Chain A
Amino acid sequence: MDLSSQLLQLLFSGLTLGSIYSLIALALVTTFNITGVLNLAQGEFVALGALLAASLYTAGLPLAAAFLVSVALIAALGALVERAAIYPARESSALTLIIITVGLSISLRGLALLLWGTDPVSLPAFSSGGPLLVGGASVNLQTLWILGMAAVTMAVLNIFFELTYTGKAVRACVINRTAALLVGINPGAMSLMAFAGSGAIGAAAGIFITPVTLATYDMGFMLGVKGFVAAAIGGMHNIRGAVLGGFILGILEVYSAGLVSSGLKDAVALVVLLAMLMLRPEGLLAASGRKV
């Protein structure tokens, strides 16, 4: 395989990985700005969604039904977690809330370990057939599913945020929380919606990557960290920045793993995080979304 087709091959992998990071970052940023909570349990929604869908599928549900049921249940779990753990502590400091989400993350991971054990579970690819050849690179069909799912999710969210009144109210919370309070937006209702939405998006992302990466009880932690790095790249106050950050991180990871050493994959994310925090802590797209 020559270099250009290898680069193209890696680009596809990077975009795929990046789209997953983008979705996680998007959920993180939206929740963070509405509630002031950096939800470090976001990755756990990804893992639980994937594990649950795999179990439902094994129990005999068709793949599509397993997907929908799992997404709905994890959305409900997100809402439950918000009411049980976040809402009662909403007056607490940001640090307290972050530590609560760390506790949630550990508990949910423990729950997953109890229910599913340590063995990875899998789902079949969403469509059969060999890889497609594009310009010398071979593209797995599941990759296309993932990219398509990410594109559809982002398009739907974009319509929600740009065209619906509720979506604009959510954006208003993201842009200026105080002002959102002052126009009478109920932060409790928004917070509930943010956590349920985060659960649904996380679960969907987890289910789509499972045919490629398999699902394990502890897959969520690293994905949550990567989502946070992606959000930090784009700026914690900017939804578009989070999406961009996800793709940048995914492509960087795949290129450094593919061209230099595969051991670098996770290190890259953390180096990028450090560099961003030192050089441009407000994020790449800060200027447009920054609170003045």
Chain B
Amino acid sequence: MLEIKGLEVCHGWVQALRGLSLQVSEGETLAVLGSNGAGKSTLLGALAGLYKIKKGDILLDGRSLSGKSPHYMVKEGISLVPERREIFNSLTVMDNLLLGAYHRYRSKKNEVIIDVENILNLFPALRGRENHPAGTLSGGLQQMLAIGRGLMARPKLLLLDEPSVGLAPLVVREIMSTLAELKKTGVTIILVEQNTAAALKVADRALVMERGSIVLSGCSREMMGDTRVQQAYLGRTRVVRPAAAL
């Protein structure tokens, strides 16, 4: 359903994506791994329309979305849950969710109300806090709210940027199991994660990025067994750093 062809994105003078090509099929969950600065967030940002595309194309169900603005991308069914959550702190939980459905709130209000109910079922911890300012929630609840807000757009493609960052292991597990739940609804997911083990558990397929390109990809089980992935991201064997080797 999603096809990326030779995508190049620059942040000023720095080239963040170097001719990246990628295909994601309907209903698939893809994990994107890699160290800081590898271009993972840039990839998601470009898909959400946040960055100008220098070269290449993004095709969703065969239609080109390259160079479109974020609100257009949301309407087309791509929803990004950004890094650091970026919820609307001083608005209530309910308002955050309702704003998530911005492009269809006026035309399909009833549908939106039902969707809010579904989100609260998906994240029961948010129930009873609908009228709390979102900024007063704990980090875990804020992350759930951010995902919920992203889902309120009824995306075909959900992009998650480091949903586990800064959260307690128990909360991470809860969020990951919700993602597994989400997968069953048929939504296509691209998950950027530092928590490689957790990401590989949910994902069908994974790829590793380095300096703006894909250096490794395969199904999750293969990746979990790959020694390079184990060494660099899963910490199974001690990584010998140059400093330690001296």
Is B82 a contact partner of A178 (Cβ separation < 8 A)? yes
Pick the most buried of A178, A183, A185, A292: most chain B CB atoms within 10 A of its CB: A183
Contact with A along B72-116 (1 / 0, CB 8 A): 001100011010101111110001001110110110000000000
Contact of A185 among B87, B102, B135 (CB under 8 A): B102
Is B98 a contact partner of A181 (Cβ separation < 8 A)? no
Contacts of A183 in B (CB 8 A): 74, 99-100, 102, 149, 152-153
> Could you tell me the distance in whole angstroms from the C-beta of B79 to the nearest C-beta in chain A?
8
Determine whether B203 belongs to the interface, using a CB cutoff of 8 Å to chain A.
Answer: no
Contacts of A288 in B (CB 8 A): 90
Bound together, the chains give a CA A172 to CA B79 distance in angstroms of 17
Is B95 a contact partner of A181 (Cβ separation < 8 A)? no
Is A172 a contact partner of B91 (Cβ separation < 8 A)? yes
Contacts of A181 in B (CB 8 A): 49-50, 69-71
Is A179 a contact partner of B71 (Cβ separation < 8 A)? no
Known pairs A165-B98, A169-B99, A171-B91; A184 contacts B153 (CB<8 A): yes
Contacts of A165 in B (CB 8 A): 98, 105-106
Bound together, the chains give a CA A132 to CA B136 distance in angstroms of 47
Main secondary structure of the interface of B (DSSP, over half): loop
Is B89 a contact partner of A186 (Cβ separation < 8 A)? no
> Could you tell me the distance in whole angstroms from the C-beta of A71 to the nearest C-beta in chain B?
26
Cβ-Cβ contact count across A and B, 8 Å cutoff = 71
Known pairs A182-B80, A183-B100; A175 contacts B91 (CB<8 A): yes
Main secondary structure of the interface of A (DSSP, over half): helix
Contacts of B91 in A (CB 8 A): 168, 171-172, 175
Contact of B86 among A168, A178, A184 (CB under 8 A): A178
Contact of A179 among B75, B82, B135 (CB under 8 A): B82
Is B90 a contact partner of A175 (Cβ separation < 8 A)? yes
Contacts of A176 in B (CB 8 A): 86-89
Contacts of A211 in B (CB 8 A): none
> Could you tell me the distance in whole angstroms from the C-beta of A163 to the nearest C-beta in chain B?
11
Bound together, the chains give a CA A169 to CA B88 distance in angstroms of 10
Is A179 a contact partner of B86 (Cβ separation < 8 A)? yes
Known pairs A171-B88, A175-B91, A289-B90; A182 contacts B99 (CB<8 A): no
Determine whether B46 belongs to the interface, using a CB cutoff of 8 Å to chain A.
Answer: no
Q: Identify the closest chain B residue to A165 (Cβ).
A: B105
Bound together, the chains give a CA A179 to CA B89 distance in angstroms of 11
Contact with A along B38-69 (1 / 0, CB 8 A): 00000000001110000000000000000001
Is A172 a contact partner of B88 (Cβ separation < 8 A)? yes
Contacts of A179 in B (CB 8 A): 82, 86-88
Bound together, the chains give a CA A187 to CA B74 distance in angstroms of 13
Give me the interface of B with A, judged by CB distance under 8 Å. Answer: 48-50, 69-71, 74-75, 79-80, 82, 84, 86-91, 95, 98-100, 102-103, 105-106, 135, 149-150, 152-153
10 A-B residue pairs with Cβ-Cβ distance under 8 Å, sorted by A, are A168-B98, A168-B99, A178-B50, A181-B49, A181-B71, A182-B82, A184-B70, A184-B153, A186-B71, A292-B135
Given contacts A184-B70, A184-B153, 8 further A-B contacts (CB under 8 A): A172-B88, A176-B88, A178-B86, A179-B86, A179-B88, A182-B80, A183-B100, A184-B75
Across the A-B interface, the 3 shortest Cβ-Cβ residue pairs: A184-B74, A179-B86, A181-B70
